[in-house]
Amino acid sequence: MTFIVKPRLVHAGMPRNSLGLTLRDYEGAMSTLCAGCGHDSVSAALVQAFFELDMPQEQVAKMSGIGCSSKTPAYFLRGAHGINAVHGRMPAVATGAAGANRTLCAIGVSGDGDSLSIGLGQFAHAIRRNLDMLYVIENNGVYGLTKGQFSASADVGSAAKKGEVNQQPPIDPVLLALTLGAGFIARGFSGDKPQLVPLIKAAIRHRGFALVDVLSPCVTFNDHESSTKSYAHVRKHDVEMVHADFVPHAEPIVAESEAGKVTPVTLHDGARVLLRRVSQDYDASDRANAFTHLVECQARGEIPTGLLFFDEARADMHGIANTVDEPLATLPFAQLCPGAEALDKLQARWR
């Protein structure tokens, strides 16, 4: 991956956190995503959350798979550890990183394609193991990096850029996580930073698997071919001299929600979604209640947002596997390698 270094302009009056760092210090490389892509707003929310939590960057391991969303970790926390894994395999890498060093704050950024198709098994087992991590899904219903095919979260009836209509029912990561026993489940919208930042902060502080599903519009593949003003239409009636592509400039969508209220949001292609933020008296500790709320919202054509379920009683992966407190890299060799005699004894048990 090629990085474009962002100029670091720090105004003398910029607020600093308890580590003496500014918001700028928590940024990453210059984004190469399309202008207006919701994922950049998610990066900005992550920057804000880590800044407000006074998080030392060397304590963070940021991981991703493949897709537009998986480029995101390059755009925040330039001083953190990071690995860009293969498609759908980020949870396995996160399991290894967290297992080797439980003092790290593990964060995975994935997409609906990366998590709900090729990576669905990995996603499910990370929840089942209660891996101590923040798992962000930047959810836009399409494979942006490979030019806008439907992903497994695309709604029935939604149209792709080429005009075909999706007929397969979506996989809802929130409902799935609820069914699989996740202890922290939230949904936000990339254009609602005041709601998203606290959700991310709470998810980082949660011990165990914390899912934050973020609706993050893809500005490029909401541009339908049925429009005579679309890029696809122009290309069809044009004589191609050289194959080139162009991504139109777009502004990020911003919409702040209110507790208990429905916020209509118009996407770049004119489609409207209804975001329902949970009310003040919503009980996020009751799994059955959360399930009913999600299904009722779905039936009304609304997308529920906010902290949807929370339970910290379940032991996380470290508690279940009884991992050591210290990072493996700091343990003395004798403790890491008990020697040939101990290994012989262990192997004798299976003979």
Give me the residues that bind ligand SF4 (CB under 6 A), please.
33-34, 37, 39, 68, 140, 144-145, 218-221
Q: Whose Cβ is closer to ligand SF4: residue 85's or residue 219's?
A: 219
Token pair recorded at residue 27: 């940024």
Q: Which amino acid is at 250?
A: A
Q: Whose Cβ is closer to ligand SF4: residue 2's or residue 18's?
A: 2
State the nearest-atom distance from the C-beta of 69 to ligand SF4, in Å: 7
CA 294 to chain centre: 20
Q: Which residue has the tokens 């929600």?
A: 257
Query: Which residues are 63's β-sheet partners?
Result: 83, 108
State the nearest-atom distance from the C-beta of 39 to ligand SF4, in Å: 5
State the nearest-atom distance from the C-beta of 222 to ligand SF4, in Å: 8
Q: Whose Cβ is closer to ligand SF4: residue 34's or residue 131's?
A: 34
Q: Whose Cβ is closer to ligand SF4: residue 130's or residue 220's?
A: 220
- The continuous run of DSSP H or E covering 128 comes out as helix 120-129
CA–CA gap between residue 334 and residue 89 (Å, rounded): 32
Q: Which amino acid is at 262?
A: V
Q: Which residue is nearest to ligand SF4 (CB)?
A: 144
Q: Whose Cβ is closer to ligand SF4: residue 122's or residue 222's?
A: 222
CA 169 to chain centre: 21
CA–CA gap between residue 139 and residue 111 (Å, rounded): 6
80 touches 108 (CB < 8 A): no
State the nearest-atom distance from the C-beta of 88 to ligand SF4, in Å: 17
Cα–Cα distance list, 55 to 47, 80, 199, 201, 296 (Å): 10, 10, 16, 11, 38
State the nearest-atom distance from the C-beta of 84 to ligand SF4, in Å: 15
State the nearest-atom distance from the C-beta of 165 to ligand SF4, in Å: 19
Q: Whose Cβ is closer to ligand SF4: residue 69's or residue 130's?
A: 69
Count CA atoms within 13 Å of residue 164 on its CB side.
8
